Amino acid sequence: MTRDMSYAAVTARKNEIMKASLGIDFSAFITSPIAFDYERMMRETGYTHADIVRIQGETKVGNTPLYELRNITEAVRKIAGPGKGARIFVKDEAANASGSFKARRASISAYEAAKKGYKGIIAATSGNYGAAVASQAAQRGLKCIIVQEVFDSRFVGQPEIVEKSRACEAYGAEVLKLSVGPELFYMLLRTLEETGFFNASLYTPFGIRGVETLGTEIVEQVRARCGQNPDAVVITHAGGGNLTGTARGLQAAGATDTRIVACSVDLSGLHMASDKDFNRKSFTTGHTGFGVPFATWPDRVDVPRNAARSLRYMDEYQLVTQGEVFYVTELLTKLEGLERGPAGNTSLTAAVTLARQLDRDQIVVVQETEYTGAGKHHNRQLSFARENGIEVRRGDPQDNVPGKAIVIPERLDQVWGKVQDMEKLRQSYLKNAVKALPVEQWTDTDYAFLAADLKMSVDWVKENVAELK
């Protein structure tokens, strides 16, 4: 008898499919609809830090350079107050195989798949992760399928996603190109079930553990160069894995006082699953359409428990406009001779703002760069915006309206961004927790888990849940 392959039937088999495609029994860690043993899940990947460094070294990942952006730092000091203007460094993750930090995430999944005897590896992504998975699969002798949202209903592809699709194919992957909508998850599950391949989800413990080396390298390199830990590390935030893995690495290296600053492009008002809005955004990752919902309920993904849990580690959340990021992208190219893609330049934009407020002897690290070219280039993104009726002009970036107007600053002192309200994010998380399990059924374990996941005290959780009720 053939299996029912309808949307409802396939999604109902999610846990069964995930267990077969990952080799992880998530039920062993789960204690309630809210809580699970997070640290035990991370430990039971079975890899030590030394193991991960070795595995990544085999496939051209890690040990990337750290550059001091001296010219940008000097430009910031000219507009900062007396004694202000921290030193800005950037970790050049474009030096990894496939050109982004996501090679670190993919490296452990590919290794695990090969070790367990899977014939191939699958990932659902519109971004650099697909290219990273394809690159790592090629080096481990695995087949690779990437499931990707590329088009709107007019079959018009977002240039950055089209470029990433080309990169996936260049590394030998088969790419299933979809239109925006709910079929992405369905096609992922169906393809995993039909092929028996390994699920290289962005949100597994393997992926997050792979990013930890990025955090430890930052600490080691800054100490070697400057004799101190970084005062702040700025991390572009989307699904949360970048921030989670890096923060865990910083902590493992002993940089427990380093401030973890998230940054996303503010795309408020644009819905990420909307066909109408799909091509009205110039950033396909690192924006609030992913950053906010993933922060406020991490377990909205393709695995039963997400290992990427940003509020557990985040100290501050900065928002920047599209125009500010494009301006700083030009600044990096013209002042530092580095042409890099928009994701890392999102956090560089926040680093400029942060450096203006810190002392000159303090250190801010931009935690990653990514490759650029073709559709990923900011000039192509701006052309595409105009083609979709979006106004592009110079002026005050505070006049930016997502999906309607991209306003590029005229001067560096106009690059300010704004602060996201962390209290609102935590309150939203609690509301989602209440939906998952009524407060009356919460145990001490649930309260302790929520306190850790929100980086707050148990008393804070109890007080704020009482206010919600």
45-90 confidence digits (pLDDT tens): 999 999 999 999 999 999 999 999 999 999 999 999 999 999 999 9
In terms of Cα–Cα distance, which of 414, 238, 389 is closest to 326?
Answer: 414
Binned at pLDDT 50, 70 and 90, residue 376 comes out as confident
Average pLDDT, stretch 156-173? Answer: 93
418-419 and 316-320 as β-strands: parallel, antiparallel, unpaired? antiparallel
**Residues 28, 297, 264, 173, CA torsion sign:** positive
Torsion angle (degrees, nearest 10) of CA 10, 14, 18, 20: -60
pLDDT of residue 43: 95
120-124 and 405-409 as β-strands: parallel, antiparallel, unpaired? unpaired
In terms of Cα–Cα distance, which of 250, 214, 216, 212 is closest to 232?
Answer: 250
In terms of Cα–Cα distance, which of 240, 238, 237, 219 is closest to 228?
Answer: 219
Domain at 57-97+208-419, CATH class: alpha beta
Domain boundaries, the chain: 7-54+100-205, 57-97+208-419, 431-468
Of the listed ranges 10-24, 81-95, 322-336, 360-374, the least confidently predicted one is 10-24
**pLDDT for residue 450 is more than 70:** yes
Binned at pLDDT 50, 70 and 90, residue 1 comes out as low
Widest distance between CA atoms in the chain: 76
**pLDDT for residue 185 is more than 90:** no
pLDDT of residue 188: 92
Q: What is the identity of the amino acid at 451?
A: A
In the block, tokens 């704004």 appear at 418
- Rounded Cα gap, residues 469 and 309, in angstroms: 25
In the block, tokens 């996501």 appear at 102
**pLDDT for residue 297 is more than 80:** yes
- At 148-161, the pLDDT tens digits run 999 888 989 999 99
Q: Is 191 left (phi over 0), alpha (psi -120 to 50) or beta?
A: alpha
**For 102, what's the count of Cα atoms within 13 Å in the CB-facing half-sphere?**
29
3-state helix, strand, coil in the chain (%, to 5): 50, 15, 35
Please give the span between the terminal C-alpha atoms of the chain, in angstroms, as a whole number.
Answer: 49
Residue 348: φ, ψ to 5°: -65, -35
- Rounded Cα gap, residues 304 and 352, in angstroms: 38
- Rounded Cα gap, residues 117 and 120, in angstroms: 9
Q: Which residues contact 444 (CB under 8 A, 6 or more apart)?
A: none
- At 305-345, the pLDDT tens digits run 999 999 999 999 999 999 999 999 999 999 999 999 988 89
More confident residue, 126 or 91: 91
Distances 253 to 101, 134, 215, 221, 273 between C-alpha atoms, Å: 19, 30, 8, 11, 38
**pLDDT for residue 16 is more than 90:** no
- Rounded Cα gap, residues 165 and 167, in angstroms: 5
Average pLDDT, the chain: 94
Q: What's the token pair of residue 438?
A: 């009524």
Contact between 51 and 209 (Cβ < 8 Å): no
How does DSSP classify residue 359? B
State pTM to two decimals: 0.96
- At 46-56, the pLDDT tens digits run 999 999 999 99
Q: Would you say the CATH fold of 57-97+208-419 matches that of 7-54+100-205?
A: yes
In terms of Cα–Cα distance, which of 135, 145, 202, 201 is closest to 167?
Answer: 135
In terms of Cα–Cα distance, which of 283, 257, 395 is closest to 344?
Answer: 283
More confident residue, 14 or 52: 52
Domain at 7-54+100-205, CATH class: alpha beta
